Amino acid sequence: MLEAVELTKHFKQTKAVDRVNLYLEQGEIVGLLGPNGAGKSTTISMISTLIPPTSGDVRFHNESIIKEPAKLRNVLGIVPQEIALYSDLSAKENLRFFGRIHRLSGAELNKKVDEVLALIGLTDRQNDLVKHFSGGMKRRLNIGAALLHEPKLLIMDEPTVGIDPQSRNYILETVKRLNQEKQMTVLYTSHYMEEVEFLCDRIYIMDKGCIIASGTKDEIKNILSSEHTVEVKVEKVSESFLHALRSQPVIHHITVQERTITVLSPKEINVFRLLFQLAEKTNTVFTSVEIKTPTLEDVFLHLTGRALRD
């Protein structure tokens, strides 16, 4: 349905996106995962025809849309990272405005506005001004504004940033429903692993402007099939223990979060014995040791040496 070919964007001397290749098939949800500054937003701005690429192409049903963006725009809904709404208008007035700019009018517009209000759960608050909404409600309306013209492709740029877990779940369920009931194709960018894991059929992982891994969730997790992810909880994190871990060539990556230390090591190594030996040497007391199934976070850590939210 949509394909980005060798997509590159330079801003003066900075290479924001470097030869990105990705594709979306009709009816699938594709995740674009990466930390802040990875180039996700620039990539989707180019895909959605908002900014022209420095080089490369975007093809929609095998036709380039760089010079003829209208072909894609007519079937595209975009949910920006910002709350792109008029805060001094009510939810209903906002939706009516965004419907009108897609040439909806009269009974059709009223019907669509009511449908979208129901879908995003704001029917009861439709006449309230957006500036009086909670963060979650604004995010839901932000999504609603992109759905009025029933787009075939929905591009969502971190649509759940800064909201409560309840609203986040509502949004994720709504996206899933749109995909299942209306066969809407979704390109979903996020730096929340759990969202991407929950929603997406396929995932692209981006870092420093490049795609560093892609595939289904299982395919990506299989990158770590030869490694253990071991999570060690300690009474107190000591520098000497961390130093000892870092000096071991068989320990690939180490992350520390409060009193939890996560390490990656090859499966053929008996990492338990090594960990206990090092603990004994450095007088470190373990409260628990656990081997975990690798997550996308672990994959990202493995690929980049950094945590996603660093």
Partner 1 sequence: MISILTAKFRLFLRNPWMVIVMSIVCIIMATIIGAASEKKVKIPVYSTLSAQETNELLHTLNESHSFRFEQMDAKKVRALVREGKAAAGLELAENDFTLIIASQTANTFFLREYLQKVYGEKGQANAIAKQLHLSTEQTTKIVKEAKKHPAFTIQTMSFRSKNAVIIDPQMQPIFGFSLFFVIYTVAFQVLQLLKEKKEGVWNRMILSRLKKWEIYTGNLFYSFIIGYMQVALIFSVFRFGFGIDFHGRFPELLLLLVPYVFAIVAFSILLVGLVKNEQQFQALISLLSVSMAMIGGAYWPLEIVSSNILLMLSKIVPLTYGMEMLKGAAVYDRSLTELLYPMSILFLMGVVFMGIGINLTERKSS
Q: Is 97 exposed, middle or buried (0-12, 13-18, 19+ CB in 10 A)?
A: middle
The one segment of 32-40, 70-78, 181-189, 214-222 that binds partner 1 by CB under 8 A: 70-78
Minimum distance from residue 138 beta carbon to partner 1 (Å): 11
Q: Select from 20, 31, 60, 98 the one that contacts partner 1 (CB under 8 A).
A: 98
The one segment of 12-20, 29-37, 91-99, 256-264 that binds partner 1 by CB under 8 A: 91-99
The reply to whether 115 sits near partner 1 by the rule CB under 8 A is no
Q: Select from 21, 61, 101, 257 the one that contacts partner 1 (CB under 8 A).
A: 101
DSSP of 86-133, one letter per residue? -TTSBHHHHHHHHHHTTT--HHHHHHHHHHHHHHTT-GGGTTSBGGGS
The reply to whether 100 sits near partner 1 by the rule CB under 8 A is yes
DSSP of 189-211, one letter per residue? EES-HHHHHHH-SEEEEEETTEE
Going by C-alpha positions, the residue among 190, 214, 196 that lies closest to residue 204 is: 214
The reply to whether 189 sits near partner 1 by the rule CB under 8 A is no
Scan residues 14-33 and list those touching partner 1 (CB under 8 A).
Answer: none
- CB–CB of 104/151 below 8 Å? no
Question: What stretches of the chain adopt beta strand conformation (E)?
Answer: 2-11, 14-24, 29-33, 55-60, 63-64, 76-79, 153-157, 185-190, 202-207, 210-216, 227-234, 253-257, 260-266, 286-292
Minimum distance from residue 75 beta carbon to partner 1 (Å): 11
State the Cα–Cα distance between residues 245 and 69, nearest whole angstrom: 53
Scan residues 40-69 and list those touching partner 1 (CB under 8 A).
Answer: 48-52
**CB nearer partner 1, residue 19 or residue 102:** 102
**CB nearer partner 1, residue 140 or residue 221:** 140
Q: Select from 10, 15, 28, 84 the one that contacts partner 1 (CB under 8 A).
A: 84
Q: Select from 1, 5, 15, 89 the one that contacts partner 1 (CB under 8 A).
A: 89
**CB nearer partner 1, residue 88 or residue 310:** 88
**How would you list the strands of the sheet with 153-157, edge to edge?**
76-79, 153-157, 185-190, 29-33, 202-207, 210-216
State the Cα–Cα distance between residues 126 and 55, nearest whole angstrom: 43
**CB nearer partner 1, residue 146 or residue 211:** 146
The amino acid sitting at 305 is G
DSSP H or E run through 27: none
State the Cα–Cα distance between residues 40 and 100, nearest whole angstrom: 29
The one segment of 78-86, 164-172, 264-272, 276-284 that binds partner 1 by CB under 8 A: 78-86
Q: Select from 23, 97, 198, 276 the one that contacts partner 1 (CB under 8 A).
A: 97
Minimum distance from residue 72 beta carbon to partner 1 (Å): 9
Minimum distance from residue 182 beta carbon to partner 1 (Å): 19
Contact residues toward partner 1 (CB under 8 A) are: 48-52, 73-74, 76, 78, 80-86, 88-89, 93, 97-98, 100-103, 129, 145-146
